[in-house]
Amino acid sequence: MDSDVIVNAANKNLAHGGGVAAAIVKRGGQIIQEESRKWIEVHGPISHSQPAFTTAGEINCKFVIHAVGPVWGEGNEDMKLAQAIRSSLGLANDLQAKSISFPAISTGIFGFPTDRAADIFMEEISAYNTNNQGQSLQKIILVLLNTKTLNTFIISFDNYFKNHR
């Protein structure tokens, strides 16, 4: 994606072994995994509300934000996903990014229901845009895996706008 920051759906130890994380390291190079390892050495494991960031290696963007999404069934999943989205948006702004690209965090191997995630993304993006006028972040892009996920997000966003006019 053509954006300043991409979000990686990470685990708390930044071990980029599968899914979006593995694809990012494969495309960007081992430097991303090495910087992630160093982050953990210095700061310890990341949390839903405290993402990490690294350079993007060979990817054409400035930074990768590593956000931990919730695993379905661990408890407080909605709150944790909202924190992951909100904290990623805040960190991108702190990094002076003008644009950010998100995957549908936690809807893959972490098992979070896509329709529920779409609703939370819409709420968090809307709240961010309302509360952060004049900040550096101007463009929020959702990069979705397939047509089914895209259609689920479209329905959620349409419903949100129908109910918030």
CA separation for the pair 42, 1 (Å, rounded): 30
**Is the overall model pTM greater than 0.85, yes or no?**
yes
Tell me the residue type at 154: I
pLDDT tens for each residue of 76-107: 999 999 999 999 999 999 999 999 999 999 99
Q: Which residue has the tokens 């329905």?
A: 155
Burial 74-103 (b: 16+ CB within 10 A, else e): eeebeebbbbbbbbbbbbbbebebebbbbb
CB atoms within 10 A of CB 165: 4
pLDDT at 56: 97
pLDDT at 31: 97
pLDDT at 85: 98
Tell me the residue type at 63: F
Q: Name residues of the chain where pLDDT drops below 70.
A: 1, 165
Question: Can you list the domains of the chain with their CATH numbers?
Answer: 5-163 (3.40.220.10)
CA separation for the pair 139, 71 (Å, rounded): 27
pLDDT at 117: 97
Q: DSSP character for 69?
A: P
Contact between residue 116 and residue 153 where contact means Cβ atoms under 8 Å apart: no
pLDDT at 130: 87
